[in-house]
Structure 1
Amino acid sequence: MTTSVSSPPARGSDSHAAVAARARGLTKAYGSGETRVVALDAVDVDMPRGRFTAIMGPSGSGKSTLMHCLAGLDTASSGRIWVGETEITKLKDKRLTRLRRDSIGFVFQAFNLLPTLTALENITLPMDIAGRTPDRAWLDRVVTTVGLAGRLKHRPAQLSGGQQQRVAVARALAARPEIIFGDEPTGNLDSRAGAEILGFLRRSVDELGQTIVMVTHDPVAASYADRVLYLADGRIVDEMHAPTADAVLERMKSFDSRGRTS
């Protein structure tokens, strides 16, 4: 296992084709003067297409801010961000909303399902709102991948927490987005249900070619990823490929030894 600080690839079009999202000089600051807090400090980062990336770091390191900026949920103070070939830092609100709807999927701790709709109706809701007809073959494949084939007519109250999160994962996958962002997606689940969801996310990368970026504090969750990015003080300070839970835990301990807490 090797670790290295991430460096940007060459800027040729071929490298961009292999990247689902990227940022250059991404800075996010709150407040001004003596109260100014820098959450992200000139970050350069690429999220490779068809890969699973976990983002980790101590509390206040900027990991959630990085995800929110890459996903267009928060605005950058300076720098540039692209999703696919579209620079989102230049988009007006209406176009940014459309891009988030069409090109980005989200999975959060809260399942965010509508209680009056069935599992299938919750899965297709974003496409229904957009006036898009689901690709039936793809939808069937997604439903099979996350193991929901026998639960599509059930409403959320009839499903376990793990099953509800499967619906949320399927909803994110169903529109075939450019990239899916997960913010502690297993945080509200027990270890068994969490492992199931992480397994489904892993399979969506391996079998469906999906791109996933997940913020997590859990070394076991991070071990499902292809690589782990470590943030500290708003900067990417390390990168680990083919992570294991033990290796991730050891790396996180080094932050604690420098006086930081997770």
Structure 2
Amino acid sequence: MTNQPTTPIASARGLVKTYGKGDTAVHALAGVDVDFGRGQMTAIMGPSGSGKSTLMHCMAGLDRTDAGTVVVDGLEVSGMNERRLTKLRRDRLGFIFQAFNLVPTLTALENITLPLDIARRPVDKAHLAEVVEAVGLADRLSHKPSELSGGQQQRVACARALVSRPAVVFADEPTGNLDSTSSAEVLGFLRRSVDELGQSVVMVTHDPTAASYAHRVLFLADGRVVGELTDPTPESVLAALAALRPARPGASALLAQTVGV
């Protein structure tokens, strides 16, 4: 069993987020309390509309909550104005998205160091070398995105998220556009970034195999946390989803449909 850190890298209490009003209102988050472990990789699973991406976006300050508090690395994100949020996202958070979001005219190395260049911060060459070695692309740094495979592009995006030493990396379906081999490369790198570089990672995924790379899996349905699992395997993730059925029949049916149970 993985030991839970006493001080989480990020936490939320009483998070509420609603889109729309009246009869068309969608309650994306319905009072979520959650902690994300420091130096751990946490996966968030759930069907479309369960609130998993909304939760991550609210934790990362990309979306405002209607109620509740969010704290990241000791800073209360939910009370920040836009200027402070921009600084937080630039200096303390890393982001990895399904679509890679690389600049096509820049080389892999230039894409990796882009956040530091924008912030006018010096590049820590030793840390950059460590990240480049971990991502396994030392011989591709001079190549532009069009000259890289999908898996290589996403590993560049992962390195870009890590190079500024963020407190936490938020990854939204980072393997959604990748084949199984490339997915394993990216997920292996994310897990090594935690185990070897001391990173903290929060990842949204639909894939039980991807979730099995995490230390802990949270299950969301209908805007609520409905279960969790530590030290997951693909099989235990599927079993955990199945075990949710007696307690939450509607939610578990959706979860089971999402992962093909």
Q: Normalization by structure 1: what TM-score?
A: 0.91
Structure 2 equivalent of residue 162 of structure 1: 151
- In the TM superposition, residue 83 of structure 1 has moved relative to its aligned partner by 1.0
Within the alignment, does 1:210 sit opposite 2:199 as a pair?
yes
Task: Output the amino acid matched with 1:65.
Answer: T
The one of 73, 76, 100 aligned to 1:111: 100
Q: Contact 1:52–1:213 at 8 Å: present in 2 too?
A: yes
CA distance in 1, matches of 2:205, 2:238: 12
The correspondence for 2:217, drawn from 228, 232, 245, is: 228
2:219 pairs with 1:242: no
Report which stretch shifted further, 182-191 or 243-252.
243-252
Query: 1:189 is aligned with what amino acid?
Result: L
CA deviation digits over 1:208-256, x for unaligned, max 9?
0000000001000000000000011111111100000011122334567
Task: State the 1:54 CA deviation.
Answer: 0.2
- Indicate the SS of the match to 2:121: coil
Percent same amino acid at aligned positions? 62
* 1:103-138 Cα shifts (integer Å, max 9, x gaps): 110111111111111100000011101000111110
Shift of 1:30: 1.3
Please give the secondary structure, in 1, of the residue aligned with 2:139.
coil
**Alpha-carbon separation, structure 1, partners of 2:149 and 2:27:** 40
1:158: how far off? 1.0
Within the candidate set 118, 124, 127, 2:113 is matched to 124
Query: Does the Cα contact within 8 Å between 1:119 and 1:153 map onto a contact in 2?
Result: yes
Shift of 1:35: 2.1
Which one of 133, 140, 145 corresponds to residue 134 of structure 2?
145
Correspondence for 1:193 among 177, 182, 186: 182
TM-score, normalised via structure 2 length: 0.92
> Aligned partner of 1:123: which letter?
I
Q: Note the residue ranges of structure 2 that are not aligned, 5 or more in a row.
A: none
Which of 68, 75, 85 matches 1:79?
68
Aligned to 1:48: 37
**8 A Cα contact 1:51 1:205, kept in partner:** yes
The one-character-per-residue Cα deviations of 1:27-64 (angstroms, maximum 9, x if unpaired) are 11112222222111111111111000000012211111
Matches of 2:80 and 2:230, distance apart in 1: 33
Aligned to 1:175: 164
Q: Secondary structure of the equivalent of 1:65?
A: helix
SS at structure 1 position matched to 2:171: strand
Whole-angstrom distance in 1 between the partners of 2:207 and 2:241: 10
Q: Which runs of 4+ in 1 moved over 3 A?
A: 253-259
Higher relative contact order (CA 8 A, sep 6+): 1
Partner SS, residue 19 of structure 1: coil
Structure 1 residues 8-47: aligned runs within 5 Å: 15=6, 18-47=7-36
Determine helix, strand or coil for the equivalent of 2:9: strand
How many angstroms apart in 2 are the aligned matches of 1:59 and 1:86? 30
